[in-house]
Structure 1
Amino acid sequence: MSVATRDMAVHSPRSGNQALLIAGPTASGKSALALALAEQVGGVVINTDSMQVYRDLRIITARPTADEEARVSHRLYGHVDAAVNFSAGSWVSDAAAALSEACAENRLPIFVGGSGLYFKALTRGLSAVPPIPADIRDGVRARLEQNGVEALHAELRKRDPESAERLKPRDRTRIARALEVVEATGRSLTDWHRDGLPPLLPPGEFTALFLAPEREALYARIDARFEAMLAASALQEVIALAARRLDPLLPAMKAHGVPALIRHLNGELTLQQAAEIGRADTRHYAKRQFTWFRHQLPEFEWVAPEAAREWLSAVIPRASA
C-alpha cells in the first residue's frame, strides 16, 4: 500500500458515521442481513470476503445477484480477474477508497463477509509487505512445480529459518509466499509483520457482530446451498474457469468446490463425488471460521441470526427507524 493510500486510510473523514461489520460463517445469512439493513438506512455494502472479489465466480462463491446489487450500492464484488493473486493488502487499499466514499456521502459503511484476515486487517492493521515482482513470483512457482514443495521448504529453511519452522512442510501456498517475500525483499515475513500499517477502523469507530447460527442447521444450509449452486450453473462457471488454465495456486482456483469440480471435469470424480467434497470442504471451512473469530477477533459480538435485527436496532439508531 502506498503512503498516500495509508494516509487516506488513517485520516478518512468519518462524517459522524460508525461503520458496521457483519461477519459470520458461510451460509449464515450475512449478505441478506446487510442488504436489508442497507435498504433501510441508506448504507453501502462493502465486500469483506476474499473469494467474492473474483468476477469469474459469482455463483459458486454465493455473491449477491445482479438484482440484489442493483437494490443498494455494493462495493468490491467481482472487481478482480481470477488470474490476479489478490492479497489482503490489495483489498485494504480498495476498502480504504470505498470507506472514504461512503463517509463523504454520509452513508453507513456495512462491511460484510467471512474472511477473518480481511476483518483483522480492517480493525487491527496489516503487515507492510511490498508488492512482489511478477518475475520473482513466477520463478518461485516454477521451482515449486518442478522440484516439489519439500525442496522449496528446504530452501526456505536456509534463507528464512523462522518462517520455515513455523510452516507445515507441505503447505505449498504459504511456503511459496514466504520464499518469494525473502527473495524479493531480502527480509523475512516475520520482519515485515513487525512493521505494520495502521487499521482503517480503529477501536471506537465500528460496531461488529458475528452471526452464530446453530451448527447442525448451518451445515444443512451449506449442503442445500451447494446443490442450489449446481442447479444454478455453478459447473458451467467452473468449466469456463478451467478453460483458462490458470495457475492452480491462485486463490480463485481454490474457492470451495472449484478443485473438486475441476477433478470431475478431468474424469477423476463423478459429479456426485465432487459435490460431496465441495460440501464437506465448505462445512470444514465454516467450522474454522467459528474458531478463528473466537480467538482472533473477540471484540465481535456473537449474535444468533434470528436475533440480529433486534440487536442492530439497539446499537444503530437508524436501524430501528
Structure 2
Amino acid sequence: MNKPKIISLMGPTASGKTAFAMELYDRYPIDIISVDSALIYRGMDIGTAKPSKQEQQKYPHKLIDICDPSQSYSAANFRHDALAEIETSLKNDRIPLLVGGTMLYFKALIEGLSPLPAANSEIRQQIEEKANKLGWQAIHEELKKVDPISAQRIHPNDPQRLNRALEVYLISGKSLTELTQNSGEALPYEIMQFAIMPEDRSILHQRIEKRFIQMLEQGFEQEVKVLMQRSDLHLNLPSIRCVGYRQMWEYLNGDISYDEMVFKGICATRQLAKRQITWLRGWKQPITWLNSDNINATFNNLF
C-alpha cells in the first residue's frame, strides 16, 4: 500500500522559503504547515519575519501564533501538532507542505522521538533551588559531568533546557544524549524533501542584513518594548532568546548601544543560517537542493 505523500521545504533563514511556499499555494492544492520555533509565538511578528496578516489571510499557515511568549513548546509538542495538521490536510485531499528552518522540528517529525521520561516537578524544583543558590553555571557544570555532549549543545544561560537535560539523567540514570540515540516511531508518510538557498553564500548574507534593517524600519524596536512591559517575560525564555529579540532586548535594557544591537543582530542571524546549513548538509534522508535564484525551473522539473 502506497503511503500518502507530503512535501518538506527546508532552508536557512532569509533563503526565500515563505515566498516560494506562497507561490506553490497559488498553483497546487497544498496546505502550508509552518516548521519554525519562532513563528509559534503570538505578538512576535516583525522580528520573526512572520507573514503579514494580509498574507496569512490569503495563504493560511498552520502552527503560527499558537503559543504565548511565556510558554514553552518542545519538539515533541511540534510533532504532535504537525501530525494532526498533516492528517487533516490529507483527509481534505490536499498536500501538506511543511515549510521552515527549525531543523530539530523536522528531525523530530521525520525520524521520530526517543521515549523520554515524563517531567518530574519535584526534581525540577530541586534543580531550580540549587540554581538559585549556586547559579545556572553550576548546573551546567554538573550536566557536563554526566552528559558532556548535551552540555556542549546547551548554553549555560538556557535554564529550561539545562533543567530538562539534568532532570532526564536524575530520573532515568541515563543521559539525554544516550536516550535520544534511539529514534522513536518514524513518519508514516512518503516525504519529498527539498532545501532552498542561494548558490552564493554572500547573497544570503546580503539578504539577512537587508531584512534586519527592514525589520527595524517596520517597528521592531516598538514590538520588543511592548514585550518588555510584561513582568513574565525575560531573557532566559526561549522566545526572547530568538535571534534579534535578545539583541534588541539588551539594547533597550541599556546593556549595548544601538549600533552594537544592529551588528550583533545581523551576526546572530548569519550564525543561525550557518547552523541551519550545517544541519542540512548532514541530513540523513535524500534532499533535492533548489537554487533560490531560480527556484521554479528546478522545482517544476521534479514535481
Q: How many Å separate the matches in 2 of 1:236 and 1:138?
A: 35
Q: Find the residue that maps to 2:68 and give its secondary structure.
A: coil
Deviations 1:217-251 (A, max 9, x none): 11111111011111111111111222224243321
Q: Does 1:229 align with 2:229?
A: no
Deviations 1:40-65 (A, max 9, x none): 11211000111111113111011111
| TM-score of the superposed pair, with normalisation by structure 2 | 0.89
- Residue of structure 2 in register with 1:39 after alignment: 26
- Residue of structure 2 in register with 1:6 after alignment: none
Letter in structure 2 aligned against 1:206 = I
Classify 1:165/1:192 alpha carbon distance in 2 versus 1 (closer, same or farther; 3 Å). closer
Q: How many Å separate the matches in 2 of 1:124 and 1:169?
A: 20
Shift of 1:274: 0.7
- Counting only pairs closer than 5 Å after superposition, residues 102-181 of structure 1 correspond to structure 2 as 102-133=89-120, 136-137=123-124, 139-156=126-143, 161=146, 163-164=147-148, 167-168=151-152, 171-172=155-156, 173=158, 174-181=161-168
Q: How many Å separate the matches in 2 of 1:264 and 1:101?
A: 43
Q: Does 1:48 align with 2:35?
A: yes
Structure 2 unaligned spans of 5+: none
Q: Find the residue that maps to 2:165 and give its secondary structure.
A: helix
Deviations 1:191-234 (A, max 9, x none): 532553213355xx111111121211111111110111111111
- Residue of structure 1 in register with 2:195 after alignment: 210
Letter in structure 2 aligned against 1:279 = I
**Contact persistence 2:150–2:176 (CA under 8 A):** no
**Contact persistence 1:58–1:78 (CA under 8 A):** no
Classify 1:199/1:304 alpha carbon distance in 2 versus 1 (closer, same or farther; 3 Å). same
- Counting only pairs closer than 5 Å after superposition, residues 72-91 of structure 1 correspond to structure 2 as 72-91=59-78
Q: How many Å separate the matches in 2 of 1:208 and 1:165?
A: 28
- Residue of structure 2 in register with 1:10 after alignment: none
Higher helix share: 1
Structure 1 unaligned spans of 5+: 1-12, 317-321
**Contact persistence 2:197–2:204 (CA under 8 A):** no
- Residue of structure 1 in register with 2:302 after alignment: 315
Q: How many Å separate the matches in 2 of 1:237 and 1:100?
A: 35
**Contact persistence 2:29–2:94 (CA under 8 A):** yes
Deviations 1:112-156 (A, max 9, x none): 001111111122111222442456445534533541244213433
Shift of 1:315: 2.4
Shift of 1:180: 2.3
Classify 1:38/1:92 alpha carbon distance in 2 versus 1 (closer, same or farther; 3 Å). same
Q: Find the residue that maps to 2:207 and give its secondary structure.
A: helix
RMSD: 2.4
| TM-score of the superposed pair, with normalisation by structure 1 | 0.84
- Residue of structure 2 in register with 1:290 after alignment: 277
Q: Find the residue that maps to 1:230 and give its secondary structure.
A: helix
Q: How many Å separate the matches in 2 of 1:59 and 1:139?
A: 38
Q: How many Å separate the matches in 2 of 1:69 and 1:19?
A: 21
Q: How many Å separate the matches in 2 of 1:76 and 1:139?
A: 33
Task: Give the percent of matched residue pairs that are identical in Structure 1 and Structure 2.
Answer: 32
Shift of 1:188: 3.0
